[in-house]
């Protein structure tokens, strides 16, 4: 997967995609793939300050995906804020079967 990501592919759910152009809001735009080497990367002062603030406000949890009606409702409420391809539901995003 890392080789695909290095060549400009991206993952959405269980699918891998690569675009050279995107059509958004009635216009065609070129896609510029940017990849940042994370090994050894040090965020700048403003990002470090933001991370400290967020650590006091939020917690991070890892574990198996657990979809609930509340999480689906939040996804449906927030997805209109984003442009481009979005799956119709969280279940579609996390599905083992490509749609």
Task: Please tell me the predicted confidence (pLDDT) of residue 92.
Answer: 81
Please name the residues in contact with 85: beta carbons below 8 A apart, sequence gap of 6 or more: 12, 17
Mean pLDDT of 69-82: 92
Cβ-contact 16, 85 below 8 angstroms: no
Cα–Cα distance, 94 to 65 (Å, whole number): 8
Task: Record the tokens describing residue 67, joined without a space.
Answer: 């979809």
Mean pLDDT of 65-92: 87
User: What pLDDT digit, counting tens, does each position of 1-52 carry?
Assistant: 788 887 778 777 677 888 888 887 888 989 887 777 788 888 999 999 999 9
Mean pLDDT of 57-71: 91
Report the candidate in 15, 19, 14 with the shortest Cα–Cα distance to residue 83: 19
């Amino acid at each position: 997967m890392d080789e695909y990501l290095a060549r400009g592919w991206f993952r959405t759910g269980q699918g891998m995609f690569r675009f050279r152009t995107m059509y958004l809001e009635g216009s065609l735009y070129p896609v510029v793939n940017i990849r940042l080497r994370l090994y050894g990367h040090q965020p700048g002062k403003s990002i470090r300050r933001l991370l400290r603030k967020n650590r006091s406000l939020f917690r991070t949890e890892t574990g198996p995906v657990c979809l609930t009606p509340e999480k689906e409702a939040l996804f449906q409420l927030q997805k209109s804020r984003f442009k481009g391809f979005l799956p119709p539901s969280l279940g579609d995003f996390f599905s083992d079967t490509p749609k």
